Amino acid sequence: MMADITQEEWQELIAKDENAVILDVRTEEEVEDGYIPNMQNIDIRKGQGFLDEISALDKSKNYYVYCRSGARSAQACTLMNQMGFDTTYNLLGGFMEWEGETVE
């Protein structure tokens, strides 16, 4: 299941989700400009490398996925669902519109 969620929903869900994993699918250069704390970075533009790294993740966790604008993360969620991940959330508006806590 993939759901598009607002940043308000994202923060509410993560606060009470002990199974949450935050996944940043942007490039390393983009990550250097700032990111959401406690995330794991796997660049979707790596193609097969992305798929290999994703397939090593724990499928029983709930993945909160973001990119710069919400497009690549939606694509990542779809791929993850096809690979057998049950729960993925896509951050609408991406990091560009994120107003929560960030690490510079």
Q: Is 77 a catalytic residue?
A: no
- Residue ranges of alpha helices (H) inside the chain are 7-15, 28-32, 48-55, 71-82
Q: Residues 36, 67, 77, 80: which is the catalytic one? A: 67
Residue 89 is given by DSSP the state E
User: Which residues have a catalytic role annotated?
Assistant: 67
